[in-house]
Amino acid sequence: MAQLIRIGIAGLGTVGAAVLRILAEHSNQLELRAGQKLVVTGVSARNRTKDRGVDISALQWFDDPVALARSPDIDLFVELIGGENGPALAAVTAALQSGKSVVTANKALLAGHGMMLAALAEANNVCIGFEAAVAGGIPAIKVLREALAGNNITRVSGILNGTCNYILSRMENEGLSFADCLREAQKLGYAESDPTFDIGGFDTAHKLALLTTLAFGVGIDRDAIHIEGIESITLSDIRAAEELGFRIKLLGVAERTSRGIEQRVHPTMVAKSSTLAQVMGVLNAVSIDADNVGRITLSGPGAGGAATASSVVSDLTDLAAGTTQKPLGLPVASLATAVHMEMQRHEGGYYIRLNVQDRPGAVAAIATRMAERQISMESIVQRHSGPRLAASGPVPVVLITYATSENLVREALEQVERDGFLDEKPQIFRIERE
């Protein structure tokens, strides 16, 4: 008789219900792969009577996810509640302490407590699977943690938040404002009623923190990430990018440089012909540069019940088959403390949009401030939106720089602001050249 692995699932929402469905539908195939039958025996959620589209009547019900995590009737615990602290943290900690491996899709939990939880897992000789926590259905964790073991990784970058990518794609394709696209995303269920976590870049940063650890063998440190969101992007930025041969994407980038590890999340101009520029709508992508294999780019659904559950089930199958992977790739004790490169030292090209008062000599003065700091300009375009009037208002001026450093650009723009030519704060996007 085949052996049985008993699974407890806490959280039966979008992802949890899809996991139950996939486990039921693929039961025979998963048993053959794992060498044991994967059987859900216990579940926990808040509302016992809610219709979840799957039959849970035969399963043991737990009001308290911690009690499920500790139950002697399960061998493996799946956390699909969400949230950095609260019941998710309590239940995952309890499961690991009682010697059970855990599968979770919770990036906030791992970005905040991943080091402690991975150490706890190692101490108890169990594992944590978190394929679903980064880029939903894309198997980026497995690629970094297992498939690229024979490489030194130099860079990981990606479009890691479907909500932001959807909003930026709609702005470009439909000519809608940021606010309109956000409202639309909320109506379609792509964005939360409080969208700050997504559009402010924090969700991307949590995922980037995990990718950085797996790529470079350093501890998880989300506080080292420079974060900017997409809230300030206007339609005129999107159109200017288009005319210059770029597309604006919210990227998470982690890179090993000679000055340390750079980790940043911000709107980025990428060439329209680049692979990442082709990733539109709610899709995600992860691009990895490694010394032996070169570049690998994976793209696909970064969210959604079925796609995310696909990654959860992959982890469950690995665990049932007996994987002994360290949660963070290397033992926690051997993860290095990273030397972090500050954003001020970032080097690259810049897109700068200035709203300049229409005064004689203003543009020339701005060019001078740039030249004083040896910032070379690839282009400088004064963009009039309509027929020129005698007493016209501020004029958008778009500057594209060659590679320079962040602190020089900031210094020059502070000086331009002090000169009194600007009507509003400059808009600055970094350019990523592939």
Ligand X SMILES: NC(=O)c1ccc[n+]([C@@H]2O[C@H](COP(=O)([O-])OP(=O)(O)OC[C@H]3O[C@@H](n4cnc5c(N)ncnc54)[C@H](OP(=O)(O)O)[C@@H]3O)[C@@H](O)[C@H]2O)c1
Catalytic residue ranges = 207
**Closest by alpha carbon to 289, among 257, 266, 264, 259?**
257
DSSP letter (8 states) at residue 260: E
Give me the least distance between CB of 114 and ligand X, in Å please: 13
For residue 158, the minimal CB distance to ligand X (Å) is: 14
Which of 81-89, 114-122, 205-213, 232-240 is the region at the interface with ligand X (rule: CB under 6 A)?
81-89
Under rule CB under 6 A, residue 11 binds ligand X: yes
Contacting residues for 221 by C-beta, under 8 A, at least 6 apart: 209, 212, 338, 340
Rounded distance between C-alpha atoms, residue 196 and residue 155, angstroms? 27
Q: Select the residue interacting with ligand X from 140, 283, 303, 352 (CB under 6 A).
A: 303
The answer to whether residue 137 forms part of the interface with ligand X (CB under 6 A) is: no
Q: Tell which one of 25, 27, 50, 173 touches ligand X (CB under 6 A).
A: 50
x-marked contacts with ligand X along 87-126 as a string, rule CB under 6 A: x-----------------xx--------------------
Question: Could you tell me if 87 and 61 are in contact, meaning their C-beta atoms sit under 8 angstroms apart?
Answer: no
- What letters, b where the CB count within 10 A reaches 16 and e where it falls short, cover 261-286? bbbbbbbbbbbeebebbebbebbbbb
Nearer to ligand X among residue 213 and residue 401 (C-beta):
213
* 42 binds ligand X, rule: CB under 6 A: no
Answer for which of 56, 128, 132, 220 binds ligand X (CB under 6 A) is 132
Pairing, β 395-401 against β 377-382: antiparallel
- The answer to the question of residue 13 lying near ligand X (CB under 6 A) is yes
Closer to ligand X by CB, 81 or 171: give it. Answer: 81
Binding of residue 136 to ligand X (CB under 6 A): yes
Nearer to ligand X, 304 or 426 (CB): 304
What φ, ψ does residue 384 adopt, rounded to 5°? -85, 130
Contact pattern for ligand X over residues 308 through 347, marking x by CB under 6 A: x---------------------------------------
Which of 44, 165, 263, 284: binder of ligand X (CB under 6 A)? Answer: 44
d(CA 354, CA 428): 9
| Smallest distance from ligand X to CB 387, Å | 48
- Least separation in angstroms between residue 264's CB and ligand X is 22
Q: Any idea of the CA torsion for 94, 96, 101, 103, to the nearest 10 degrees?
A: 60
Instruction: Answer yes or no whether residue 82 interacts with ligand X by CB under 6 A.
Output: yes
**Helix boundaries (H) for 355-423:** 362-372, 406-419
Report, in Å, the least distance between residue 396 CB and ligand X: 37
Segment near ligand X (CB under 6 A); pick from 76-84, 215-223, 250-258, 361-369: 76-84
Q: Compute how many other C-beta atoms are within 10 angstroms of the C-beta atom of residue 331.
A: 12
355 in helix, strand or coil?
strand
Alpha-carbon dihedral angle through residues 415, 417, 419, 423, given to the nearest 10 degrees: 160
Q: Which stretch binds ligand X (CB under 6 A): 10-18, 185-193, 241-249, 264-272?
A: 10-18
CB of 44 to ligand X, least distance (A): 5
Which residues are registered as beta bridge partners of 301? 283
Structure tokens at 187: 């109506």
Contacts with ligand X, residue ranges (CB under 6 A): 10-16, 44-47, 50, 65, 80-82, 87, 105-106, 132, 136, 303-304, 308
